[in-house]
Structure 1
Amino acid sequence: MENVNEKIAAIQEHGYEIDFGTIFNKAIENYKKIALIAGLTFILFSIIIVALFIGVFTAFWGFSTITENMSQLEPKNFSGTTVLIYTLSISIFAGITAPFSAGILKMAYKASKNEEFSVSTAFDYYKSDFLKDLFIATTIVSIFSLGISTVLESSGIRFIGALLSYAISFFNFLTIPLIIFGKIPAFEAIKGSFTIVSKQVFVLLALLIVSAIMACLGLIGFCIGIFFTFPFMYSMYFIIYNEIIGIDEKSELEAFLE
């Protein structure tokens, strides 16, 4: 099968065509297969993260100190040093959670092949060879995205900061799929994602906006529904990647051989 880097090079030179309706319909079908298990997985992961967050901050600063100073945790109140610490901390946290996102994408992949998967599938990449690249790529993207956003917000330019942050995240949404499915290193994945997205900005942006709206439908009524609608975003990411780049089935099965 054609090398992923060769495909990206071809895309850079010739571009590519995608159909909004085809991708959307395939994402819906994929989502139906992962919604329940992925939703339960998000609930479990959220409980773990919240427990760790409370435990760490309580151990270092005490619970009363945290609650008293929550109102001050806004970029506009940060000093230069605090902005740096805040940006690095959140970015490292994003890097730590990246393998989980990769695991949800693996669920979507397995669902597309009608293969079995479970809650534990979401944590597979914490013990894989892709762990380093997932952490590096996500941390770097987060540093740029959050760093720019925080600096501009602390300067009173909140809208521009948020816009640039969303733009960086948008152009890098294929970074994780390129690492785990395309098996390319962190920096190449970041560059590749930018190249791919830049060739079909409007169609891809429309797809992600629609998928974000559908994901937010879970907030209607009982907010817990967001855990079960949010996985639609991952189905969309997977289908977009699969439609544009595709997956080397043989090497993919070998990589996940248990």
Structure 2
Amino acid sequence: MNKITQDRIEQIKKNGYELDFGNVFNHAFENYKKIALYAGLIIFVFFVLLSILAFGTLIAIFGAPAIVDFVKPENLQTENISINTLLIITGASALSSCLLSPFPAGLIKMAYCAERDEEFHVSTMFEFYKAPYFKELFVATFLVSISSSIISTIINYAQIPVLGFIVTVTISLFTVILIPLIIFGKLKAVEAIQTSILVVAKQPLVLLGLIVIGSIGVMVGFIGCCIGIFFTFPFMYSLYYAIYSEIIGFETEVENRN
């Protein structure tokens, strides 16, 4: 962690911080307009290629008939899935999230570049597949994903869907600046998780409101054969960037605050 960011975090621990909903939202939206088309196209292409790779791998391992049978609605109900299968799915989901964690980090970096009128390219999306970022993003995502998966699995078996939704939203809320803390603040995985929780706890309602409104905005992308979701989805990463920028800031910004 760099010294200036550390000082800012210590300041937040002691005195908290002010966060204006309107300022953060406008900041995110203005930034989003600069990256929407480019980021949306990259997400769409990446999603298509990843889907082809994933289905191709599954078919090669299990065969097409087994995959078709498994995805039948009656077989996807929690009570009809064996514990071993559920553990495999949970593990595979967590591993996939970990391996893909540098991708959203790249989207956030793209938002950073856009605000400063710096050039960004496809390579920006994959910039954090290198040391030391990949390890920290992988570990942080693994810890969050596995915790969320275990809790969600227990809740699903208890058949309390509302509680499952609340847990998912809570975890998303308290890890909202996890990735920026790693890629901008240079924090280690566990330290980033702890800091994100601490910072969010100072203004949970404002941040929850931002995430809810942002999520609703992203869902608008489902209009128009669902293709639009690829172009509204980058708004969430622009929002994460704006939240981090407003709360923690960057070196020159933090220096000005002090």
Distance 2:91 2:188 in 1: 22
Q: Which residue of 1 aligns with 2:107?
A: 104
State the one-letter code of the partner of 2:21: F
Deviations 1:192-230 (A, max 9, x none): 110111110110111111111111111112310111111
Q: 1:93 aligns with which of 91, 96, 118?
A: 96
The letter for the 1-side match of 2:217 is: M
Q: TM-score, normalised by structure 2?
A: 0.92
Q: Which residue of 2 aligns with 1:200?
A: 203
- How far apart are the structure 2 equivalents of 1:46 and 1:2? 38
What are the residue-to-residue correspondences of 1:178-189 with 2, within 5 Å?
Answer: 178-189=181-192
Which is bigger in relative contact order (C-alpha 8 A, separation at least 6)? 2
1:238 deviation in Å?
0.1
* Aligned counterpart, 1:38: 39
Residues 218 and 229 in structure 2, CA contact (< 8 A), matched pair in contact too: yes
SS in 1 for 2:159: coil
Aligned with 1:132 (options 113, 132, 135) = 135
Give me the CA root mean square deviation: 1.7
- Measure how far apart 1:128 and its partner are: 4.1
In structure 2, C-alpha distance between the alignment counterparts of 1:156 and 1:113, rounded to whole Å:
48
- When structure 1 is superposed on structure 2, of 98-107 and 63-72 the one drifting more is 63-72
Preserved contact between residue 149 and residue 158 of structure 1 (Cα < 8 Å) = no
Give the partner amino acid of 2:41: L
1:121 is displaced (CA, Å) by 1.2
Q: Is the 8 A contact 2:40 2:234 kept in 1?
A: yes
Query: What is the alpha-carbon distance in structure 1 between the residues aligned to residue 49 and residue 134 of structure 2?
Result: 19
Deviation track 1:149-193 (CA, whole Å, cap 9, x = no partner) reads: 122112212221221122112111211110000000000000011
- Match of 2:227, SS state, is helix
Q: Does the 8 Å contact 1:141/1:169 carry over to 2? A: no
Match of 2:256 in 1: none
- 1:55 Cα shift? 1.6
Q: 1:154 — aligned with what?
A: 157
Sort the Cα spacing of 1:61 and 1:12 in 2 relative to 1 into closer, same or farther, 3 A: same
Identity of aligned residues (%): 46
Q: Which residue of 2 aligns with 1:53?
A: 54
Tell me, in whole angstroms, the C-alpha distance in 1 between the residues paired with 2:79 and 2:143: 23
Q: 1:1-258, aligned counterparts within 5 Å?
A: 2-71=3-72, 72-248=75-251
The one-letter code sitting in structure 1 at the alignment partner of 2:132 is: D
- What is the CA–CA distance in structure 1 between the aligned matches of 2:206 and 2:52, rounded to whole Å? 39
Deviations 1:46-83 (A, max 9, x none): 01220121022111101121111113234333333333
Where does structure 1 lack aligned partners over 5 or more consecutive residues? 251-258
2:128 partner letter: Y
Unaligned runs of 5+ in 2: 254-258
Give the distance between the partners of 1:126 and 1:161, measured in 2 at CA: 32
